[in-house]
A and B are shown apart, each in its own frame.
Chain A
């Protein structure tokens, strides 16, 4: 199975400051159609996961533009330009290039 490795696993951030989460895959996630199959999810406490970013950098509808995704091949990053209180939760990357689709361990973002 493709292993997805996130860092850091815990991320204390001051309100208004930027935050960055790294995700590395054990194999390239580039598909034959040229797209890279990597998504980012947010899970707020007590809620279901919510997709934020798909195909590395495309923001889902309703996702604030302070969230951005970047990367290629096997190395990816989720950035929050200015952290707000509502951003507290766990963030997961997920690959869907190979079956079974696999998730990173999750990064817990908290307010410092």
Chain B
């Protein structure tokens, strides 16, 4: 069974940083594109970033370019999202997803002073 478990969420001040992790199991992690998506409270879904299987290709939505970095460690079956210069509008539940077929339970990131 595919399992994706996010961690690292929390409360951070505007301008601060946070690193999300996603531990994957139940599938062959190194061969899949992986994604980070988010959902602001009471709002719809937004794609944040994705990364190809070997980590050589990364794409970001414009609103996070230059501030967020997606990465992966295939030896550890783990996906990461480094978030810098956080803004109030980054407040959301962040989901890790395997090719959109499977999603984690989400990690809440709250950016507030």
Contacts and interface: CB of A to CB of B under 8 A. Distances in A.
Given A50-B103, A103-B47, 18 more contacts: A39-B100, A41-B100, A48-B104, A48-B105, A48-B106, A49-B95, A51-B100, A54-B100, A54-B101, A92-B45, A94-B45, A94-B100, A100-B47, A100-B59, A100-B62, A101-B47, A102-B47, A105-B44
A89 to B, nearest CB: 13
Sort chain A's interface into a size bin: 10 to 19
B62 to A, nearest CB: 7
B61 interface: yes
Interface in A64-112: 92, 94, 96, 99-106
Contacts of A94: 45, 100
Contact of B44 (A39, A100, A101, A103): A103
Nearest to A92: B45
Interface in B49-90: 50, 59, 61-62
